[in-house]
Amino acid sequence: MLAPNLQRPHRVDHLVIAEMVERGSRALDVGCGDGALLQLLSDTKDVDGRGIEVSRERVNACVARGLSVIQGDADRDLVDYPDDAFDYAILSLTIQATLQPKAVLEQLLRIGRHAIVSFPNFGHWQVRGRLLLTGRMPVTDNLPEAWFESPNVHLCTIKDFADLCQVVDARVERAVAFNAWGSQLGTWLPLTVHNLMGEKAVFMLTRKWASLSPRNADLSANTINGASP
């Protein structure tokens, strides 16, 4: 009754995320858009899902459909959540549009026991080809906006993202890349091939670090354990 995209096929990265999450778990979808992933997770895995979305119209449409969504922004609002608030903190095709991808990823790893991130791969052969042949910022089916209109201020390749995972001390539990036709690339292929042939990628991560950064420890002490009268 509430399905938003009954007619539209599910996005391949959504399907693989739905396959990754455990039944009955709690998930936060950061940048949830029209709520398609939240709906899919709720319908197929009975997930207790929440969303954050920057566009007011989309938030209102999500809430009117019965999804738990707040108007907010990945760069600003993730700090409000306590540690381990969710089983999964999900950022699907959004990290490239954040102002501080590293800080956002660290927050995802803090508030979720797992972080799931999907992103367009700027190392894909089509992107490389466009830049090489035209000498201009690539515009592809997957990245259709011109550079001056694109919300994607921090595009990266699969290799770049794998590097960032090391920088933030995250363990990669699973990584999947899709080609332009939405098929998963064989996991036996080397990273370089994924980086060339993958149009999108989905990473599932956990934090290696056990203790919290001092700032976050302060914050959570302040918000959760503050004195009661």
Partner 1 sequence: MNTANPRDFLATTDARVLEASHPSSDYLDVPASRPLKLDSGRQLAPYRIAYKTYGTLNADKSNTILIEHALTMDQYVASPHPVTGKPGWWEAMVGPGKPIDTDRFFVICPNVLGGCMGSTGPASSNPETGKPWGLDFPVITIGDMVEAQVPLLDHLGIDQLFCVIGGSMGGMQVLAWAARHKKRVFTAVPIATAAWHSSQNIAFHEVGRQAVMADPNWCGGRYLELGKEPRNGLAVARMAAHITYLSEEALHRKFGRSLQEISTKSFSFNADFQVESYLRHQGSTFVDRFDANSYLYITRAIDYFDLRAEHGDVLANAFKGTRTRFCVVSFTSDWLYPTRESREIVQALNAVAANVSFVEIESDKGHDAFLLEEPELFATIRGFLNAAAQKRGLKPARRG
> Applying CB under 8 A, which residues contact partner 1?
2, 48, 50, 56, 59-60, 62-72, 77, 80-82, 85-86, 222-224, 226-229
Shortest distance, CB of residue 215 to partner 1, whole angstroms? 15
Residues 6+ apart with CB under 8 A from 7: none
Q: What angle do CA 186, 156, 22 make, to 5 degrees?
A: 55
Nearer to partner 1 (CB atom), residue 25 or residue 68: 68
Shortest distance, CB of residue 18 to partner 1, whole angstroms? 20
Strand partners, 174: 204
Nearer to partner 1 (CB atom), residue 65 or residue 128: 65
Nearer to partner 1 (CB atom), residue 4 or residue 137: 4
Shortest distance, CB of residue 22 to partner 1, whole angstroms? 18
Q: Report the alpha-carbon distance of residue 198 to residue 110 in Å, rounded.
A: 28
- Encoded amino acid at 1, one letter: M
The secondary structure element, H or E, covering residue 57 is helix 56-64
Shortest distance, CB of residue 30 to partner 1, whole angstroms? 12
- Measured N-to-C along each axis, helices 12-20 and 36-45 cross at an angle, to the nearest 10 degrees, of 40
Nearer to partner 1 (CB atom), residue 67 or residue 95: 67
